[in-house]
Amino acid sequence: MKVLVVGSGGREHALIWKINQSEKVSKIYAAPGNPGIAKLAECVNIQALAIEDLANFANKEKIDLTVVGPESPLIAGITDEFEKRGLRIFGPNKKAAALEGSKAFAKELMHRYKVPTADYQIFSDFEKASQYVKNCPFSFVIKADGEAAGKGAIIPKDKEEAISILQNMMIEKIFGPSGEKVVIEQKLEGEEISLLAFTDGETVLPMIPSQDHKRVFDYNQGPNTGGMGAYAPVPFINAEMVERMKREILVPVIKGLKGEGIKYKGVIYAGLILTKDGPKVLEFNCRFGDPETQAILPLLQTDLVDLLLATLEERLNEINFFWYEGFCVCVVLASKGYPGKYKKGKVIKGMEEAEKEALLFHAGTSFLSTPAAYCSLPTVVTGGGRVLGVTALGDTLKEARDKTYQAVAKIQFEGMHYRRDIGEKYE
């Protein structure tokens, strides 16, 4: 089989690393990929949002399966375009991807199917939204309805700041049309976890739970990022709790969508919070999480390609799903300044040494020379905010953490920053 993976981050590198282990696969392409991915796949210079070009490429190269990493192409309808052309693609179609693409759509769906989530109101009018926050008796989160590069959910310090956030989103349009509508929801208290599942629109197969670390500094200080590290599985979530989350959250959503004529096929990612009243939904994503995928896939025993195909062929009920025992920890090495402004082009040293002890999933890396020189192994430099995911396994969470941080110690680049507490709380 020829497989094309769309995207260029640590998640896509982890997906390709796992897909490469399948005996069914003869060739992997990545669009656009990155220097780490280039060791396993042929990188083609097509961006993830160039849907026409990707479909033309898949057609020309007779790609058997395309796997989409990031949400943007899914929300923009890449699956619909590929399916229209008879090309096989993994990821929900545009209507289903609205679960991530519109916070208001997701909240209303949850409300209709009694899926536990925070109380909320939706506003398209700035004056009405401002009035609401002025009188709101509880702490709340303001969320831009549409895509906002992971920056669209903000917890205001006080009501004054809340009005200024609304002003920025709804009037100044800092997120473009994504912020014209907002969801204001009650801020919940509890531990946050990520539960990802494969679904073919009927069967829902949860993966092992994982925990992301979103703030940039240790002990959850500083601004939110795309994720500074993750581990799996989560020791305080037992099989019974996963079953409850599936029963109360994932199944009603997938069934509800189906009842409304939307078949959701792909990975559904539930961002959950464990409140004193039980698990509640913070958000849904329509794709594999990043960095969660980097901590989950190394523990997956089942052939990933079998899972992807069974999802598309609606045969997930036939799948035997196996996981290795133990734990996996992924620590993200980031550029100085991330998630704000940062410099690129810093030479990364020590990767070969680190790779003797751990998996290195490349995220924001690039070659010092042009992409055309992919084969000649030129120097690898930083090319993004999140640069590398260093990942190791262990029989215990502590062992996995120790091995990961030993490998982290081998790597250097100017301004390298990482959290030292990934998975520490529960080791």
Give the residues lining the site for ligand GLY (CB under 6 A).
212, 226-227, 285, 289-290, 292
State in angstroms the smallest separation of the CB of 290 from ligand GLY: 4
329 vs 404: CA distance, rounded Å: 7
Q: Least distance to ligand GLY from the beta carbon of 367, Å?
A: 26
The least CB distance from residue 345 to ligand GLY, in Å, is 26
- Report d(CA 243, CA 209) in Å as an integer: 11
106 token code pair: 């997701």
Distance CA 129, CA 184 (A): 8
Of 81 and 292, CB closest to ligand GLY:
292
- At residue 146, the 3 state secondary structure works out as coil
How far apart, in whole angstroms, are the C-alpha atoms of residue 100 and residue 96? 9
Q: Are 120 and 183 in contact (CB under 8 A)?
A: yes
Cα gap 239→231, rounded to integer Å: 17
Identify which of residues 34 and 285 has a Cβ nearer to ligand GLY in the complex.
Answer: 285
Residue 138 CB, nearest approach to ligand GLY (Å): 25
Least distance in angstroms from the C-beta of 322 to ligand GLY: 24
* Closer Cβ to ligand GLY, 36 or 289, answer by number: 289
Is residue 64 within 8 Å of residue 29, measured between CB atoms?
A: no
Smallest distance, Å, CB 371 to ligand GLY? 26
Neighbour tally for 268: CB within 10 Å: 26
Angle between helices 10-19 and 304-312 (to 10 degrees): 100
Give DSSP secondary structure letters for 264-287: --EEEEEEEEEETTEEEEEEEESS
For ligand GLY, give the closer residue by CB, 49 or 136. Answer: 49
Q: From the CB of 100, what's the least distance to ligand GLY, in Å?
A: 9
The identity of residue 88, as a single letter, is: R
Rounded least distance, CB 120 to ligand GLY, Å: 20
Asked if 152 and 143 count as a contact pair (C-beta separation under 8 A), the reply is yes
| Beta strands per DSSP E along 308-382 | 327-334, 359-362, 365-367, 380-382
Name the 3-class secondary structure at 31.
strand
Residues 126/171, Cβ–Cβ less than 8 Å: yes
Nearer to ligand GLY, 116 or 227 (CB): 227
d(CA 396, CA 326): 6
> Smallest distance from the beta carbon of 295 to ligand GLY, in angstroms?
10
List the beta bridge partners of residue 15: none
DSSP 89-112: EES--HHHHHHHH-HHHHHHHHHH
- Between 55 and 249, CB nearer to ligand GLY: 249
Which residue, 232 or 319, has its beta carbon nearer to ligand GLY? 232
Q: Which is closer to ligand GLY, CB of 155 or CB of 347?
A: 155
Q: Which is nearer to ligand GLY, 383 or 389 (CB)?
A: 389
* Least Å from the CB of residue 149 to ligand GLY: 11
Q: How much of the chain is in helix, strand and coil states, percent to nearest 5?
A: 35, 25, 40
Q: Which is nearer to ligand GLY, 63 or 141 (CB)?
A: 141
